[in-house]
Amino acid sequence: MQLGLPAVMCEELGPRTMHLEPWPLEHKAIGKEISVNDAFFAAGKDWELGPDWPGMRCGAKTRKGTPCQNPAMKGKARCRNHGGKSTGARTAAGLAKLSALHWKHGRCTKAAKAEAKRRAQIGREIMSELREIEQEAIASGALCKNWRVVFDLGIQSDESDEKK
């Protein structure tokens, strides 16, 4: 049997000195004897990481299929067992592999964004040319000012009848 040594005030030695008395310490959950340090550690773990612990948990899927309940490392989303200690890829090959793993469709790459900007600029230029042509046609009398309403409704205006 392993003995724990609790500190007890000893009247004979004075109020400031402590005397250690042996007493048996048995772990409740396992049913076997453990040291005082282990008992304090186990009691602290229950309090520190219990179900009501407010800190961030790892949450990685364990082999059992449940989320990992270990605390996440400071500034990370995972515990030390599930990638919290990882600093990420450093070599060019590792970075290329990581980039390939995260590739989905390519619509948000730099080249795709540049191409979309180029096409938008061409569209803006075409629209400005069409506006200029419209203004010139209205000024010359080839189009009436409300030509869009007439076009949408499919009716002919009085101005267009007179010109025929």
> What digits encode the pLDDT tens for the residues 41-83?
666 665 667 777 788 899 999 999 999 989 999 988 999 999 8
Report in angstroms the alpha-carbon separations of 147 from 131, 156, 162.
Answer: 13, 9, 15
Q: Is residue 105 part of a domain?
A: no
Say whether both 9 and 71 belong to one domain. Answer: yes
Q: What is the band of 147 on the pLDDT scale with cuts at 50, 70, 90?
A: confident
Residue with tokens 């180029």: 118
Q: What number is the average pLDDT over the span 117-137?
A: 97
Q: Is residue 70 part of a domain?
A: yes
Rounded to whole angstroms, how far apart are CA atoms 17 and 125?
A: 92
Say whether both 66 and 18 belong to one domain. Answer: yes
What is the percentage of the chain residues whose pLDDT exceeds 70? 66
Q: What number is the average pLDDT over the span 135-154?
A: 88
1 contacts 33 by C-beta, under 8 angstroms:
yes
**90 or 158, greater pLDDT:** 90
Q: What is the band of 17 on the pLDDT scale with cuts at 50, 70, 90?
A: very low
> What pTM, to 2 d.p., does this model score?
0.39
* pLDDT value at residue 110: 93
- Long-range interactions of 82-87: CB distance < 8 A, separation 24+: 82/58, 84/58
Say whether both 115 and 69 belong to one domain. Answer: no
Q: Which residue range is the domain that position 55 belongs to?
A: 3-76
Structural domains of the chain, count? 2
Average pLDDT, the chain: 78
157 contacts 145 by C-beta, under 8 angstroms:
no
